[in-house]
Structures are given as structure tokens and as C-alpha cells.
Amino acid sequence: MQYRTLGRTGIQVSTLVLGAMNFGGLGRTTQDDATAIVDAALGAGVNLIDTADFYSHGESEEMVGKAIAGRRDDVVLATKAGLPMDDDRNHRGSSRRWLVTELEASLRRLGVDHVDLYQVHRWDPSADDEETLSALTDLQRAGKILHFGSSTFPAYRIVEGQWTARERGLGRYVTEQPGYSVLQRAIETDVLPVTERYGMGVLVWSPLASGWLSGAVRKGREVTTNRSAVVPHYFDTSDPVNLAKQDAVEKLADVADGAGLTMIQLALGFVTAHPGVTSAIIGPRTLDHLTSQLAAADTVLPADVLDAIDGIVAPGVDLAPGEKNFTPPALADATLRRR
């Protein structure tokens, strides 16, 4: 296992992060399964676990808390808040009211007195940056969070957050968690240059592109990834976007075969090769999934393989822009772009 410094925090983290999104109802992963996965991951040298209140409505946090009981100090523990927890309009977002309330709930579910990294799950257009950062700074000073970060923020919002922190004398976001894979490379254009400029740690999600790069999705075969039941439109080959992904995957499979690598090793080796990326978040649903992903822990792709990947999916290009889980408000609401 390789280790890198998480931004400027001084914390050393593994280049593979155990993501717990599949723990609980979403991935149909039981507590025994989750504990076994955590045991195996920690045994292999993974030292950062990432979860969120939103994952299975808190069940993931509860499972992680039980799995790490008695070894809290061995784990760099990260969670997130901001996505809707129920229909109440104030049980979401990044207002002081909600972040303070929901952190207490997350700490109870995790069974800990603090988290190492608390992340705003999505940018909240209704909350002022100073409102959010002042709340996070107060939680940090109270010792309930050690550091805080953002997730899936557009580049200009990352810059705005850094500016506000400096101008108002507040703590700053020290990490960003964007989506990134061979098939989704748009963050190379703006997000990664910005995070590198500010010395932020970067923990990328979906490096296997919802299973497209795991080997489970190949032309002429039945799709075997669990994500096809959750987001079936990501795999509908009547959509030209998915056809483009399918064509790219077949070409990438040839590159992997030629290099003596699995698709998973190619995919994870690609994202961790970027100098702006600290770690890749893996989200195994079973021990077998974890084993296949841990096999990529020390994968270093040579220049000719990286060049071949660039020839299949150009740098800075998203083959499926709609899968980035962030739409600027003005694109979603016509009233925001008309006088």
C-alpha cells in the first residue's frame, strides 16, 4: 500500500480509501459483511474510511462505527453531510443549523467523539460561504472535527470558499472529493488545477465509473454490477452516451490486456497517477470486490499505458457529463437565466 499526505494536514493516508456507501440497504451489505470488509481493508494497509449520513439514511455510519469499535485511533475517519435526510426542507444543505445538528447525529451513529474529516456533500446555493465556514470552524475549535472539506464542488466554488476563509479569518476546506475516472476526466480542466493551487487533498469517488471499469460491463455480456439496478440509465445502451462508454471500455480492455493488468488495476492506477489526486475511494460490496480492488494498491502505470488511455478518452473530457451529480442551479432553473 502506498501513502500520501492529505493536502497540507500532515495526515498520511493510503492511496486507496474504503468507501462505505454500499454498507446497509443500498448495497445490501450486512453488519457482518461490513465488519469483514473493514477488517480486511485495515489489514491490507487502508487507513482512511469514508462514509456519509446520506448513505442508507445513516445505516452506513452505524455499521462503520460498530466495525471500528475498539480501534478508532487506527482509522482516519471521514463523513459527510448536506444531502437530504428526509422531506423536511431544513434537514439538508450547509446552514449552520443543519451542519451542527447533523454532526451530532453522525457522531452518535459512528459511536465516536470526533471525526477527522467532515465534508460538505454538495455545494448549497442557499447558504452563504461565511455561514458554512464559520459553523465548520466553530465545530473544529470545539474538537468535534479535526479538518473539513468539500465534495463535488465546481472549481469556482472552491476558489470562492478559499477566498472567504482568508478574508474572514476562518478555517478553510483542506480537501475536495470529486468524481473522477478514465471515462470522466473533466476535473482535469479546472478542479484539479485549483485544488493543486490551494494545496488541497483530493479523494476521488467512482474511479471505476459505477462498475463500467470493473470488468463487469463488456459488450455482448449481461451487466453484473449492482449499480445497474440503482441507476439503470447509466447502462442503457440505447443511449448514445452509453454506447460511447462501451466503445471506450472495449479499447481500454485491450490496453489492460496488453499491459498484463486487470481493468480495475488500469482504472485505479490511472486516477492515482495524477499528481493532484491523493487517493481513490473504492466502494466494495463484498470481500471479493475488495480483494480485486486491493490488487491495484501498488499499481503504477507506465507512460505508454497512460498515453494509450489519453488516445481513447482525451484529457479533460467527460464521456457522460450528466453523471457528475452536480448541475449548476442556473441550468436546472430557467428563471435563474432569464431577466
In a domain, 339, yes or no: no
- What is the structure's pLDDT at 223? 67
- What is the structure's pLDDT at 228? 57
Q: Which helix (H) or strand (E) holds 279?
A: strand 279-282
In a domain, 301, yes or no: yes
In a domain, 136, yes or no: yes
In a domain, 43, yes or no: yes
From the candidates 55, 118, 173, 234, which is the catalytic residue? 55
In a domain, 171, yes or no: yes
Number of domains in the chain: 1
- Asked whether the predicted pLDDT for residue 221 surpasses 80, the reply is no
Please give the share of the chain, as a percent, with pLDDT higher than 70. Answer: 96
- What is the structure's pLDDT at 237? 77
What is the tens place of the pLDDT at every residue in 99-123? 999 999 999 999 999 999 999 999 9
In a domain, 59, yes or no: yes
Residue numbers of the domain that contains 223:
3-333
- What is the structure's pLDDT at 12? 98
- What is the structure's pLDDT at 261? 97
In a domain, 236, yes or no: yes
In a domain, 338, yes or no: no
**What are the Cα distances from residue 242, in Å, to 212, 226, 235, 263, 313?**
10, 17, 6, 18, 14
Cell of 298: 501498488
CATH number of the structural domain spanning residue 172: 3.20.20.100
Q: Is the dihedral of CA 28, 32, 33, 35 positive or negative?
A: positive
What is the tens place of the pLDDT at every residue in 24-45? 998 899 999 999 999 999 999 9
Is 55 among the residues known to form the active site?
Answer: yes
Give the confidence band of 195 by pLDDT, cuts at 50, 70, 90.
Answer: very high
